[in-house]
Amino acid sequence: MRAPVVFSIGALSGLIAVAAGAFGAHALRARLDPGALATFETAARYQMYHALGLIAAAWALQRWPGGWSTWAARLFVAGTLLFSGSLYLLALSGTRWLGGITPLGGAAFLGGWLCLALAPRAEWSG
């Protein structure tokens, strides 16, 4: 993945997170029960955290191109789709089995942060 593409994906994901948060706070407040609304808000919050993570991964790709930085970006995208996506759908549809997908997204997020931490490993010794 190239840094400009990752940066743009991160920025667009941040835009979507803000729009989803506003949609949840205004349009869904009267339509969803408090538990479903909290689930929707969690999805938007974690999407925003990882939109910022994608922007950090874009910076890392510029500074330390290749392997770990690329995997960080990929895992943040996958995590957003699986974690936030499953929670958005769960909140809106009430389909409980979607909650089984959410931990896969959480694992992808964790892997993304680990990869980002490993990106500068060549410079650790020196």
Quote the pLDDT of residue 66: 82
Alpha carbon distance 73, 109 (integer Å):
10
User: Does some domain include residue 52?
Assistant: yes
Query: What is the model's pLDDT at position 126?
Result: 62
- By residue range, what is the domain housing residue 25? 3-120
Q: What are phi and psi for residue 33, nearest 5 degrees? A: -70, 160
Does residue 79 lie in a domain region?
yes
Q: Point out the residues of the chain with pLDDT beneath 70.
A: 125-126
Within 13 Å, how many C-alpha atoms sit on residue 30's CB side? 2
59 in a structural domain: yes
Mean pLDDT over the full length of the chain: 95
Distances (CA, A) of 122 to 12, 54, 66: 31, 21, 12
**Both tokens assigned to 55:** 């922007």
| pLDDT of the residue at 125 | 67
Structural domains of the chain, count? 1
- What percent of the chain lies above the pLDDT cut of 70? 98
20 in any annotated domain = yes
Entry pTM:
0.95
The burial of 87, by beta-carbon neighbours within 10 Å (0-12 exposed, 13-18 middle, 19 or more buried), is given as buried
Evaluate whether residue 126 is within a structural domain: no
Q: Per the domain annotation, does 125 fall within a domain?
A: no
